[in-house]
Structure formats: structure tokens, C-alpha cells
Structure 1
């Protein structure tokens, strides 16, 4: 048996579906099924218990999976270490991020990424859902939050500052916003997600916090759309600095509370690089992590 067959077995064990694995590998489901059947014949054991609706590992399959995952990890690491000495990273690199972060921060980096790593196939999976990294074969995720939980490895990419922004046109036509509590007089643009609170919290330089129970008649599930509405003069909204830095520099948007830090609402404290917990970090992941950290040092996210 070869390493490709073993990896296919691990994928089937994780996905519990020949069809799903076939789509992942661009193969026919019958080819995947035949490969697993041939592996079972070669080993002389049944790895999966199949029914018309379900497919589960047998006890022998569980034991074999545990051993093979470790073996494949060691083999992949040996290959990656050899490549790190003599070659550029190769293979596929699957990265996931939110739609807004991916479009505004990762996509602009693709020309430089291709130039530095010409032999690396890059796949960007942009979604606002927090997907399972292992089940979706994700090598690296960019996630926003105060902290990262779960069986993953996380390293901070940068601290994320959030601002209450509005267009100059809007500010000229409406009552002034000189203090956080003034926002309750305005129809704010609100983000709609299950975990978001409309009680924005502003912290002054002295540490005093002011809760702003904001309200509004435009509620959207996309921060990109909120940014567009704010630029269109529809009201104040809460956005990350990495998203609006260019708008602030051009004057299209204004930070209406420059002397306050926003710590509540949907403000997220940091951007994190997250990857599945493994004994060894693959070389291709390591070089991309280093590349993104270097880009942050050069001020990329603030452009």
C-alpha cells in the first residue's frame, strides 16, 4: 500500500462518506470505495461497517486509524523538513477566513504570495461560519476573537481595534456625537449575528466605561455591507480599523469617538492564526504563518 491510500482511508474515516471524499479528491465515489475495499483485502480486516444510511469504523478500523494518523504525520513531517532545506513549499495550502477579512486582507496579498511561493497551490475558503478545521482539511484559519478555544494551536496575528464610524455627510446633517452616550440619539447601523449585543461599550483613556444601548432600523449580517451603508451616509456603525483605515485616511469615514476604545458590542480583541493541533507544524503552514506575520509588521492590514 502507498501513502496516498492511507491518506484516503483517513479522510474516509473522518468524513464517513465515500461521496464527500470523492468530491474532495476529484474522484469517482466508486474509485474511493474500491480503494478502501482493496485496502481491507490487503490487511485482511474490515475497516468500516457499512449500511444503507451510515458508515462507521469497526473496532479494528479505530485501532488502525489511530496508528495511521501518527504514521502519516511523521511521514509528512519528514518530507516537509527535507523540502525546507532544498526547495520551496509545494502542494495545496487551504486557508479559511471571514468573507470580509479574506476579501480585504488576504486577497490583496495573493500576488506577493504567488511570487514568493510559486509551487504552492493556494485555496481560500471564505465563510462567516466557524468551520471544523480537520473535517474540512483546513491548514490555516484566520479567526477574530478575544481568545481561541478548542483542540487547536493559535498565535496572535495582531490586536484588532474597533471604531464607531460615520460619513462626513451624515455628521453634517445630524446632531453631534461628542460623547459615547450621544449615540443613543442616532439610528445606528447594526450587525445581525446570534452572538452580537447592541450594547456597545466605550472605554475612555482613564478606564471609565460607558454602555451605549444603541438602536437602529437597518440591521445587516455582513460587516462589508455595514461599511458600504456607513459610507453612503445611512448612520454610524461599529467596524474594525483594518477594514476602514483607507476610508479614514481619505475622509470618506470619520472615527466619531477618537478618544475612546470600543470594547463591547461585536468588537473582537484580536486576529489569530489558527491551525489543527499536530505534533509537527508542516513547512508550508510555517512559511505562510511567517509571511502573514511579516506582512503585519510591514503595516499590510492597516492599508
Structure 2
């Protein structure tokens, strides 16, 4: 039996990451023809097409999508093995791609990354901040931070701690519409809906003693950004369910108030995700450990 064509698998992973043959060629410092030949060679060996090719677009076939995780893992573990061989002689170096939610990324992740880069001048960080869900494997992300309940997946996940969530509104809103005393009361309130969730219109609650409640909410605003809700909240236009790092300053200043404090609103937690595989480059492991340590401290501090 022939050995696997590791070079072709690594090239396949690079094309997935850069979404083009030319982009992969530039990143790998080889010709576009070399990339094309490697993909053709791998397709012939596997007996299936990996990409749909048109003059304007390159997309993965069903087979390509099924094999994408394997390609990324082969490439990452190859890089990790090489870096491990040189670790004792050289400091970690190279690029690490990190994804995080927008506001949390600005407030918490960016300062930690800056500290890390000062300690490791040979490491570069591509920090991508967005509240939208991303394809960690397809986008070539090394580390992703998410605040949510995580579905089952092939990704490796590390729980870093809880993220406190509040039901909030302006004093003016509560003076006009009344304060909900039970989660069921929210059905009669103007609730802002955060759409980057599996069931955005269903808010679930639990309180000491085990009582649970779920309520379908609606209101004048739907958005994929918690920050975008704040002006309307401060203006007294409704109620929202938001994490403490977003509303902490407004609560301290009295611009917003919490309700239903004896209920826990969901099971939000901060998680660090990485692609499948057990081996990672030294530079990635170093940043994972640094982020995990610092972010755990932040979560424990605000509990």
C-alpha cells in the first residue's frame, strides 16, 4: 500500500483556507500549477472530485466537505510535529488565527492578545471579531471563543467559565410597562431578540429549587448584535437578555435595571474551541494556554 500523499492533503487544506488555488499558491510560496497538480493528484487517488470549479467561483463538493476536517488535521499535525522538533532550539513563531465575539473580543480578548504578543514577538495574531457564527475548519481558524451552549460537534472544546446573563431594561420602560415578576410575563413585553442563537425567540429560565420556565418573546427589534440593542434599550423601548460584559456599565450608571433576578436566564458559558486533532503547532498551544488562564480568571472574578 502506498503512503498517503501528505503534500496533496496539505495543499487541499490550504485551498480550503484561502478559497482559491491562487491564494493557496501565494500562501505556500509555490506556483498555481503546483497547487492544481496536487489537487488533481489527490482527486485521482481518492476517486472523487473535491471542488466545483467555475471561472468565478470555487466551492467544495459534498466529498470535499466531508474530507475538509481530515485535511486540516493532517496539515496541523504535520506543522505541530515539525515545530515540536525545533521547540527546544527556537522560540514559537508564526501566525495564529483567532475568532471571538465582537464586544467581548474588544473588551477582554484583544488586551490579552497584546500581552501575549509582547511576550512572544515571533508570533503574529490574526484576530477576527464578529458575532456571526463561523466555520472554524473551513476558515482556517486555530482558536475560536464562543459564548453559548455548545451543540455536539467534532470540534475540541474547553469550558473556561460561566458568563452571567441579565434581563435588562431602562427605568423609564419599567415605569411605563411594569416589571415582569415571572418569565411568563415577558410574553406581554417588548423584547429585543438576539438572532445568533439556535432558538432566538425562546427564552429559557431556571431558579433555585429546580423550577423551569420557557417563554416565546417578540418585540420591535431583532438583531445579530447585542451592542446594537443598547441605544434602544437606553431609550426605554423594550427589554433584552444580554451578558454582563455588555451591560455592566449601564447597570452601574443606572441607565438600565435588571429584572427576574431570582431566575437564571440560560446556561451561557465561555468556551475555547479548536479544530479536531490532538497535535497543534507550538505557537497555537502557547496562545491557547495563555488565553485559557487569563479568561478563566476573568470569568471567576465576575461570578
| Smaller-chain TM-score bracket | 0.7 to 0.9
By how many angstroms is 1:154 displaced? 1.0
Q: Answer whether contact 2:165 2:242 (CA < 8 A) is retained.
A: yes
Tell me the SS of whatever aligns to 2:137.
coil
Instruction: Give the alignment partner of residue 92 of structure 2, picking from 89, 102, 106.
Output: 89
Q: Answer whether contact 1:95 1:124 (CA < 8 A) is retained.
A: yes
The alignment of Structure 1 onto Structure 2 pairs a total of residues equal to 281
Alignment of 1:1-303 (within 5 A): 10-12=10-12, 15=15, 20-23=20-23, 26=26, 32-36=31-35, 46-47=41-42, 53=54, 70=74, 73-74=77-78, 76-80=80-84, 82-83=86-87, 85=88, 87-193=90-196, 195-263=198-266, 269-299=268-298, 302=302
In the alignment, the residues of structure 2 paired with residue 14 and residue 164 of structure 1 have an alpha-carbon distance, to the nearest angstrom, of 44
Give the direction of change, closer, same or farther, for the CA distance of 1:240–1:11 in structure 2 (3 Å limit): farther
Give the direction of change, closer, same or farther, for the CA distance of 1:281–1:250 in structure 2 (3 Å limit): farther
Give the direction of change, closer, same or farther, for the CA distance of 1:209–1:222 in structure 2 (3 Å limit): same
In the alignment, the residues of structure 2 paired with residue 186 and residue 156 of structure 1 have an alpha-carbon distance, to the nearest angstrom, of 33
Give the direction of change, closer, same or farther, for the CA distance of 1:143–1:185 in structure 2 (3 Å limit): same
In the alignment, the residues of structure 2 paired with residue 71 and residue 272 of structure 1 have an alpha-carbon distance, to the nearest angstrom, of 24
By how many angstroms is 1:184 displaced? 3.1
Structure 2 spans left out of the alignment, 5+ residues: 1-5, 62-69
Give the direction of change, closer, same or farther, for the CA distance of 1:8–1:217 in structure 2 (3 Å limit): same
Q: Answer whether contact 1:227 1:239 (CA < 8 A) is retained.
A: no
Q: Answer whether contact 1:144 1:272 (CA < 8 A) is retained.
A: yes
By how many angstroms is 1:87 displaced? 4.7
Give the direction of change, closer, same or farther, for the CA distance of 1:297–1:185 in structure 2 (3 Å limit): same
Give the direction of change, closer, same or farther, for the CA distance of 1:166–1:9 in structure 2 (3 Å limit): same
TM-score with structure 2 setting the length: 0.74
By how many angstroms is 1:148 displaced? 4.2
Give the direction of change, closer, same or farther, for the CA distance of 1:46–1:203 in structure 2 (3 Å limit): closer
TM-score with structure 1 setting the length: 0.74
Deviations 1:246-283 (A, max 9, x none): 333333322212111012xxxx5322111112232322
Give the direction of change, closer, same or farther, for the CA distance of 1:213–1:288 in structure 2 (3 Å limit): same
Give the direction of change, closer, same or farther, for the CA distance of 1:131–1:184 in structure 2 (3 Å limit): closer
Give the direction of change, closer, same or farther, for the CA distance of 1:101–1:164 in structure 2 (3 Å limit): same
In the alignment, the residues of structure 1 paired with residue 75 and residue 19 of structure 2 have an alpha-carbon distance, to the nearest angstrom, of 25
Give the direction of change, closer, same or farther, for the CA distance of 1:293–1:155 in structure 2 (3 Å limit): same
Give the direction of change, closer, same or farther, for the CA distance of 1:79–1:202 in structure 2 (3 Å limit): closer
Q: Answer whether contact 2:73 2:277 (CA < 8 A) is retained.
A: no
In the alignment, the residues of structure 1 paired with residue 85 and residue 251 of structure 2 have an alpha-carbon distance, to the nearest angstrom, of 44
Q: Answer whether contact 2:11 2:38 (CA < 8 A) is retained.
A: no
By how many angstroms is 1:20 displaced? 1.6
